[in-house]
Structure 1
């Protein structure tokens, strides 16, 4: 079954609480697991950046929930493409707090696909992976909770 991936950025609702963030993570983890979707979520306190991957039907279900969620607005899709394999196979929803400048550097980079081809060096997906790995080369370090 072919895999697809989607990356988007959105603005958090101004009055979003830590308890709501914790609830969002718990709900998303359970739903993503049932849909067969994995990925990561970065949050700078004001913006979300999320990478999701999985089978087309599962990804469509998860992304529909994302689009209709009330905890954020101004959703902008950065990339959507087929992927050869999962980049984050163990996590139905991993999260990390990220510096606003680092998030902006990822979002503002060119987005032309979801691969690490040499021709795409410096593009958004490469920056997303590098930021997630922290330069250590490990794609799936221990997740850090966004909320409490």
Structure 2
């Protein structure tokens, strides 16, 4: 029996009391946690804002989303898209991919203002473009 796969895409802003240099430690811990829980995805950071896409077993994603929403290292946590009917992983080989981006590569602020499917499409296209570099 296969496990139901879910995905979750959100944006947030680095908390004022959190130094951008802490992002590396966040990614390291996320990679270890995700590998243990069957979660894959990618975190993108523009120096001020995050957007993250995660995918994995439905119960594991639900627990992680609850924990992410409570994390004090970021504010303005906003769900952009989510689903529990993922047929196959988008980022199966990345326990937690990471990329710093510029506004030209991905406008995270814009993502928070558009339809959920449009935000997901913008995100996946930007990641595909970054991955080709």
Query: Which moves more between the two structures, 81-90 or 98-107?
Result: 98-107
Distance 1:18 1:11, change over 3 A: closer
TM-score scaled by length of structure 1? 0.78
Moved over 6 A (4+): none
Aligned counterpart in structure 2 of residue 130 of structure 1, from 107, 114, 125 = 125
Structure 2 spans left out of the alignment, 5+ residues = none
Count of aligned residue pairs for this structure pair:
128
Structure 1 spans left out of the alignment, 5+ residues = 113-122, 143-148
| 2:61 alignment partner in structure 1 | 59
Alignment root-mean-square deviation, CA: 1.9
Q: Deviations over 1:108-148 (max 9, x none)?
A: 33214xxxxxxxxxx1111111111117xxxx568xxxxxx
TM-score scaled by length of structure 2? 0.86
| 1:106 alignment partner in structure 2 | 111
Q: Deviations over 1:19-76 (max 9, x none)?
A: 4212111111111111111001111111110001001111122212211211101101
Larger RCO, structure (CA 8 Å, separation 6 or more): 2
| 1:16 alignment partner in structure 2 | 18
